[in-house]
Amino acid sequence: MAGKYLVHTFGCQMNAHDSDRMSEVLEARGWLVAEDAEQADLIVLNTCSVREKAEQKLRSEIGKLAPLKKRHPELVLAVAGCVAQQEGEALLGRVPHLDLVIGPDNLAELPDLVREQQAGSPPRARTVFDLSSPRFLPASPRPGRAPVSAWVTTMKGCDERCSFCIVPYTRGPERYRPHEDILRDIARFVASGAREITLLGQTVDSYRDPALPPPAALDPDESQFPELLRIIARQVPELARLRYTSPHPRHLTPSLVRAHAELPVLARHVHMPVQSGSDRVLRRMIRRYTRAEYVRRVESLREACPDLTLTTDIIVGFPGETREDFEATLDLVREVGFVGLFGFKYSPRPYTPALKLGDDVPEAEKSERLARLFEVSEAITQAHLGRLVGTTQRVLVEGASKDAARAQGRTARNEIVHVLVPPGHDATGALLDVEITQAFKHSLAGEPAPGQLAAMPARAQQPAPARRTRRSLPLAP
């Protein structure tokens, strides 16, 4: 029996994407979004286990739902995502009010599994990887209602064995989506109003598809990702921007750099996780590149696109990380000039090889290193954003900003810009030339350059917010 549902998303963009697909399979079977948890017949917590903190958040969130389940025993409570895959049956044993545990590869089965629960089945865990015939749920945006910037999955799983990372265990081995299916999703999004596509995969640049021309060189690091980018650029000419996340530096090969030089549709920003600036730590992380190799790849990208910005992920306090190792990381951050970064304290994860290395950097030291990392990084961000004041930047407007008089969008280099929009106009989806007037901590403000008003139709309705997914569960206080 279809009813009302809520999906609560934790963690990465892949989870947000999976949540969207769950909503679509449910809605295809007549389910509607509930306004609050009290009304819901089904609540799905789509979980993350990349760091322990994320897992703790889930535990507290499930705990909060116990009284609700007591009041409404017919409510179906499900845990999806990486914690589901990692814990399976065991989670049902630990959380007595839980009905369903569903892995990332079993999302299509959600409506049937829920129906079983509603018919009185005992709690059930379904966490089977689809190894022999990988399944990628197609996106089904509503006509005219697609977000300006949409995400399309190109691969799932991960064949790297970075010693800190749980993802290969929760998402399984790499499986790639046929390029025709990717093109179909992109076309559907573009036809429904999207102007920017971000290709999504754990190591998005390791892409392979036997139906595409072979890699440009015999080098095992070469993939068919550059070919995928080329075919998208060719077959979807109306696309305003194409992004991808996250690449593994190993596959950022000369042919991918060439694609950046040749394809104007490719955004002038790459988020390329480096994790550490110390060769000793990189080796123990099993990252399969040295600092010098990473820097060389950055340099060749910059030669191809001088205005390109780079952002990254960094782990501090990895087992055995000395002060010198950490200084080497700070030094790399300055050398590359990352305009933004996500920094994390190392968190030991089940199944991962780094568990054997212990967790010997004290918590206080990790906190201190993280604070210093952010200090260095924010100074770079500030200098970078400050330099843009007084320039004119092309901004793809994604939706309303927090400030009612402004819309929010991004430049090709991924700087967030709050644009002043005259009353009665809607700039959503427009590519606007914006004169930058002010730099904030993490974003810019500006006004449309003269003559840009024509790109903004009179507003027919309230603009949709720029935010893409629900990140909090509306629980009764």
**Given the rule CB under 6 A, which residues bind ligand 5AD?**
50-51, 164-165, 273, 275, 313, 315, 344, 346-347, 349
Least Å distance, CB 353 to ligand 5AD, is 11
- Check: CB of residue 370 under 8 Å from CB of residue 343: yes
Least Å distance, CB 287 to ligand 5AD, is 10
Least Å distance, CB 273 to ligand 5AD, is 4
Interacting residues of 161 by C-beta distance below 8 A, sequence separation 6+: 168, 286, 353
For residue 248, which phi and psi values (nearest 5 degrees)? -90, 130
The residue among 45 and 167 lying less far from ligand 5AD, judged by its C-beta, is: 167
Distance, CA of 177 to chain centre: 18
DSSP, res 139 = P
Distance, CA of 97 to chain centre: 30
Find, among 116, 74, 76, 120, the residue nearest to 98 by Cα: 76
Angle between helices 13-28 and 110-118 (to 10 degrees): 60
Strand order of the sheet with strand 149-153? 149-153, 196-200, 241-245
The residue among 99 and 325 lying less far from ligand 5AD, judged by its C-beta, is: 325
Least Å distance, CB 9 to ligand 5AD, is 15
The residue among 312 and 411 lying less far from ligand 5AD, judged by its C-beta, is: 312
The residue among 319 and 409 lying less far from ligand 5AD, judged by its C-beta, is: 319
Least Å distance, CB 277 to ligand 5AD, is 13
The residue among 117 and 245 lying less far from ligand 5AD, judged by its C-beta, is: 245
The residue among 195 and 248 lying less far from ligand 5AD, judged by its C-beta, is: 248
Least Å distance, CB 372 to ligand 5AD, is 17
The residue among 111 and 168 lying less far from ligand 5AD, judged by its C-beta, is: 168
Which 3 state secondary structure label does DSSP give 410? strand
Q: In the Cβ-directed half-sphere of 66, how many Cα atoms lie within 13 Å? A: 9
Rounded Cα distance, 162 and 353, in Å: 8
Least Å distance, CB 206 to ligand 5AD, is 15
Distance, CA of 123 to chain centre: 31
